[in-house]
């Protein structure tokens, strides 16, 4: 059974509107300048969001990401030249949930008055469902913002993007709606493959000890347990007493694998692995898409499959369904991904 979430009414009403609109009057020009080509200028932040936006938008708008891949998006400070990008924006998509506040503030200060600035996470997640955890303690007031690692939220992100684009560019509503439908089908297939493959993990083995709390919503939806995250809320190394507690917990639970990051190496995780006998798998990634822009796997789908396969096989399962999945984009990805 594939898990789904119920989209919020505001999104559903906009989707209903999309179904009634006709026409594909956008320009097919490949010119880079949106003003000259007749296409809207759409700005996004982290690469997974840029990928989902590009899947819906296709070639009917110019999509520009502004947070470089491999950057800590929690601490990223946009350089001054990003202000010029925002000045030309018709639509700005940010994750929200306080992930990229400096970039959001730059958009508010520089985007045209009639530009649409959308905090996607705030649209799809009610405050009552915020998750606070190891890297995002409730007393600091910032919820875990990593919704996109859960395929059901990937679909809801696409819903918000479609609703926004239909409102901003009704002439291309049919095109956006068709792309959205194909993306939703592929994201649902991803969720189904995940469910099939995670069932091969030995009983009680769906436990995650990670470098950073990027999988809290994924774990809730797919019944995993996040037993800890080494990176605290200040993004510095944890205190020695916390490391000692994690070591005891790993030994007690007999955790076979500790998952680190290819982008953010951790000597602490290496230490925990060495002292517990757990294997250190340092290839997970939160928002750095696999491959290079233009590669088939350089997509939100490719990122999610990579992480799920890494986790499932690392914990003793097999990933037959996921590995057979087509993770390419529904339309050629023409977005600009800063590296």
Render pLDDT for 307-318 as a digit per residue (tens, 0 to 9).
999 999 999 999
Predicted confidence (pLDDT) at residue 201 exceeds the cutoff of 80:
yes
Give the other-Cβ count within 10 Å of 172's Cβ.
25
Structure confidence at residue 192 as a pLDDT band (50, 70, 90): very high
Domain ranges of the chain: 11-172, 194-323
Which H/E stretch holds residue 163?
A: helix 151-168
Asked if residue 189 has pLDDT above 90, the reply is yes
Rounded to an integer, the average pLDDT of 60-80 is 90
Span 242-255, average pLDDT: 88
* CATH homologous superfamily for the domain 11-172: Nitrogenase molybdenum iron protein domain (3.40.50.1980)
Name the more confident of 231 and 65: 65
Q: Note the pLDDT tens digit of each residue in 20-54.
A: 333 333 333 333 455 556 789 999 999 999 999 99
Report the distance separating Cα 197 and Cα 222, nearest Å: 12
Residues 82-111 have a mean pLDDT of 96
Q: Could you give the CA distance from residue 100 to residue 97 in angstroms, rounded to a whole number?
A: 8
The answer to whether the 11-172 and 194-323 domains have the same CATH topology is yes
Confidence band (pLDDT; 50, 70, 90) for 15?
very low
Task: Compute CA distances 46 → 53, 100, 109, 137, 152, whole Å.
Answer: 11, 9, 20, 22, 18
Handedness of CA 162, 164, 165, 171 (dihedral sign): positive
C-alpha atoms less than 13 angstroms from C-alpha of 64 in its C-beta half-sphere:
21
CATH T-level assignment (fold) for domain 194-323:
Rossmann fold (3.40.50)
Alpha-carbon distance 150 to 308, whole Å? Answer: 10
**For residue 263, is pLDDT > 90?**
no
């Amino acid at each position: 059974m594939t898990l789904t979430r119920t989209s919020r009414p505001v999104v559903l009403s906009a989707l209903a509107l999309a179904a009634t609109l006709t026409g594909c009057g956008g320009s097919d020009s490949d010119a880079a300048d949106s003003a000259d080509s007749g296409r809207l200028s759409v700005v996004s932040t982290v690469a997974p969001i840029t990928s989902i936006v590009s899947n819906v938008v296709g070639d009917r708008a110019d999509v520009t990401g502004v947070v470089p891949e491999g950057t800590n998006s929690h601490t990223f400070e946009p350089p001054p030249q990003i202000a010029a990008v925002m000045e030309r924006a018709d639509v700005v998509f940010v994750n929200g949930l306080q992930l990229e506040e400096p970039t959001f503030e730059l958009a508010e200060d520089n985007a045209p008055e009639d530009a649409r600035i959308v905090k996607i996470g705030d649209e799809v997640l009610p405050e009552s469902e915020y998750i606070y955890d190891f890297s995002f303690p409730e007393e600091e007031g910032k919820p875990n913002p990593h919704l996109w690692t859960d395929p059901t939220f990937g679909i809801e992100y696409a819903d918000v993007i479609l609703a926004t684009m239909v409102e901003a560019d009704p002439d291309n509503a049919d095109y956006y709606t068709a792309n959205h439908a194909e993306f939703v089908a592929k994201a649902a297939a991803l969720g189904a493959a995940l469910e099939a493959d995670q069932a091969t993990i030995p009983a009680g083995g769906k436990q995650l000890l990670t470098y950073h709390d990027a999988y809290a919503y994924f774990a809730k939806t797919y019944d995993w347990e996040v037993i800890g995250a080494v990176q605290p809320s200040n993004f510095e190394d944890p205190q020695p007493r916390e490391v000692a507690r994690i070591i005891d917990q790993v030994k007690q639970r007999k955790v076979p694998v500790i998952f680190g990051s290819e982008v953010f190496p951790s000597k602490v995780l290496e230490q925990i692995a060495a002292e517990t006998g757990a294997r250190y798998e340092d290839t997970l990634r939160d928002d750095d898409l696999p491959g290079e822009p233009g590669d088939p796997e350089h997509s939100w789908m490719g990122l999610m499959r990579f992480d799920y396969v890494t986790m499932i096989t690392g914990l003793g399962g097999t990933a037959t369904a996921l590995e057979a999945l087509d993770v390419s984009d529904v339309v050629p990805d023409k977005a600009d991904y800063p590296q």
